[in-house]
Amino acid sequence: AQSVTQPDIHITVSEGASLELRCNYSYGATPYLFWYVQSPGQGLQLLLKYFSGDTLVQGIKGFEAEFKRSQSSFNLRKPSVHWSDAAEYFCAVGRYETSYDKVIFGPGTSLSVIP
């Protein structure tokens, strides 16, 4: 079955340090991949998405992600983290079921930033 995993439940980094959040997917065809961020008490906001083409995708707020088909991964990176990046991060995959598309979210990674 198609699924999305995020191996890290919680990550803590110092402000200014680099960040990498891991995402692995299981999907037979070429997946549609997304990263969303959710700040406390807020809805989700799209950071970036990948459908095809260049495997390095640039997003908002200085984030980027790299699609690696051989590793079934879509890891999110940021070279220098800001305190405002503390939030919950969800990797997601779009998939087609019997009659409709849906987006499946991974379990999320909670990011804490130390000043």
Partner 1 sequence: DTEVTQTPKHLVMGMTNKKSLKCEQHMGHRAMYWYKQKAKKPPELMFVYSYEKLSINESVPSRFSPECPNSSLLNLHLHALQPEDSALYLCASTQNQARSTDTQYFGPGTRLTVL
**Residue with smaller CB distance to partner 1, 100 or 115:** 100
The reply on whether position 57 binds partner 1 by CB under 8 A is no
CA distance to 97, 98, 114, per residue, from 36 (Å): 22, 25, 22
x/- track of binding to partner 1 for residues 82-101 (CB under 8 A): --------x---xxx---xx
Cβ of residue 80: shortest distance to partner 1, in angstroms?
26
Which part of the chain contacts partner 1 (CB under 8 A), choosing from 14-22, 38-46, 59-67, 69-77? 38-46
CA distance to 14, 48, 50, per residue, from 56 (Å): 25, 11, 9
Burial class (CB in 10 A: 0-12, 13-18, 19+), 73: middle
How many residues bind to partner 1 according to rule CB under 8 A? Answer: 22
